Amino acid sequence: MDTLIIRPNESIEAAAETILRGGLVAFPTETVYGLGADAFNPAAVRRIYQVKGRPADNPSIVHIASLDQLVDVAVDVPDELFKALRRVWPGPFTVVLRKSSKVPPETTGGRDTVAVRMPAHPIALELIRRSRPIAAPSANLSGKPSPTSAIHVIRDLMGKVDAIIDGGDTYFGVESTVIDFTRRPPVLLRPGPFTVEEIRGVIGDIVVPEFARGTREADVALAPGMKYRHYAPSKPLFLVECGDVEAMVGKAKELVERLKQHEGKRAAVLCSSETCGQYAGVTVVDMGHRGDLYEVARKLFAALRLVDDLDVDVAVAEGFPELGIGLAIMNRLRKASGFSIIKCGD
149 labelled ligand-binding: no
CA distance 338 to 326: 18
Cβ neighbours of 206 (radius 10 Å):
18
Q: Is 311 helix (H, G, I), strand (E, B) or coil?
A: coil
121 is known to lie in a ligand binding site: no
Beta-carbon contacts of residue 69 (< 8 Å; ≥ 6 apart): 128, 133
Does 136 carry a binding-site annotation?
yes
Q: What span, in angstroms and rounded, lies between the C-alpha atoms of 65 and 63?
A: 7
Is 31 known as a binding-site position? yes
Radius of gyration of the chain (CA): 20
Cis peptide leading into residue 185 (ω within 30°) = yes
- Confirm whether residue 58 is marked as ligand binding: yes
Residues, the chain: 346
CB 182 within 8 A of CB 97: yes
Contacts of 25 (CB under 8 A, 6+ apart): 15, 18, 19, 35, 36, 37, 127, 161, 162, 163, 164, 165
- Phi, psi values for residue 278, rounded to 5°: -90, -5
Facing residues of 114 across strands? Answer: 97
> Is 54 part of any known ligand binding site?
yes
- Amino acid making up residue 292: D
What residues have CB less than 8 Å from 123, skipping those under 6 apart? 12, 27, 28, 165, 167
The residues, any chain, with a CB within 8 Å of residue 227's CB and separated by 6 or more, are 55, 57, 58, 217, 218, 219, 220, 221
Phi and psi at residue 135, in whole multiples of 5°? -80, 130
The response to whether 87 counts as a known ligand-binding position is: no
Q: Which residues are annotated as a binding site for ATP?
A: 54, 58, 63, 113, 138, 146, 190, 231
Annotated binding site for L-threonine: 31, 117, 136, 176
Give the residue numbers of the binding site.
Answer: 31, 54, 58, 63, 113, 117, 136, 138, 146, 176, 190, 231
